[in-house]
Amino acid sequence: MKAIILSLTFSMISYSLSFSQKITAKEIVIKADNLQRGETNKSEMSMSVIRPKWERTIKMKSWSLGRDYSMTLITSPAKEKGQVFLKRKNEMWNWMPAINRMIKLPPSMMSQGWMGSDYSNDDILKESSIVVDYNHKVIGNENISGLDCYKIELTPKEDAAVAWGKVMKWISKKEYWQMKTEYFDEDSELIRTEVASDIKPFGDRKLPSHIEIIPADKPGQKTVLDVLSAQYNIKTDEGFFSQQNMKRVR
């Protein structure tokens, strides 16, 4: 009898410890977000904007510091080469060397597609909001591209200034890769889907290198982003992300 009681007690303690150590939905999203961006990073990317009757490819270099600072330099095509976009917290600027102008993007331009893509200026400006402006809930498990994933529902916090009425994320349980994301409007209508694939090593981590952004109501239209190279936790500071540096970054 004593052995049975000890066995039951041990089982209850083990269950209690297991339960207490269970990761929360918010912690999953934070881990996935931190893995993808690092404390700092520098990357080179290619973005193809695909439409039913045409296609164009843009190449770029990008730097970021945490969730609040980022800078992107367009390296091709020749028409846009040298353009720079800067994000500092809740503000965004565009340096256009061809006309020697620095433009602060107004609220009226936030919903426009960045460089004509299916990724909006508002998406870039509010990248951090996916962690801070939403409530997170694990609602199930699902297999995406052969990976066992958490299915997480994100709903806006009250009075949060966000573009989406709901976001669904599929994050792999073992690696914390963001394999799929669905964005919905306030009426729960699907607006856009992002699907990640082609896992590659980038420095001290592995990440999906190929992302397709697919609008729900525009057949034959999508944006494809390929990460060509990436370095994480490089030495940089807030001073790098300045309007002055926009004019000389290469």
pLDDT on residue 21: 57
Domains and CATH numbers, the chain: 24-246 (2.50.20.10)
Report the range of poorest mean pLDDT among 91-100, 116-125, 230-239: 116-125
pTM of the full structure: 0.86
User: What mean pLDDT comes out for the span 109-137?
Assistant: 83
* Dihedral angle, C-alpha 229, 230, 234, 238, nearest 10 °: 110
Report the range of poorest mean pLDDT among 13-17, 158-162, 212-216: 13-17
Distance CA 246, CA 69 (A): 13
pLDDT on residue 125: 72
pLDDT-based confidence at 14, cuts 50/70/90? very low
Contact at 8 Å (CB) between 231 and 42? Answer: yes
Neighbours of 13 (CB within 10 A): 10
Distance CA 16, CA 8 (A): 12
pLDDT-based confidence at 33, cuts 50/70/90? very high
Higher pLDDT, 126 or 52: 52
Report the range of poorest mean pLDDT among 70-74, 112-116, 216-220: 112-116
Q: Token pair of 132, please? A: 């801070």
- End-to-end CA, the chain: 75
- Maximum Cα interatomic distance, the chain, rounded to a whole number of Å: 86
pLDDT on residue 126: 67
pLDDT-based confidence at 227, cuts 50/70/90? very high
pLDDT on residue 5: 41
Distance CA 230, CA 207 (A): 10
Q: Which ranges of 1-78 does DSSP label H, i.e. alpha helix?
A: 2-20, 25-37
Distance CA 21, CA 33 (A): 20
Q: Token pair of 156, please? A: 């806006």
pLDDT tens readout for residues 152-194:
999 999 888 888 999 999 999 999 999 999 999 999 999 999 9
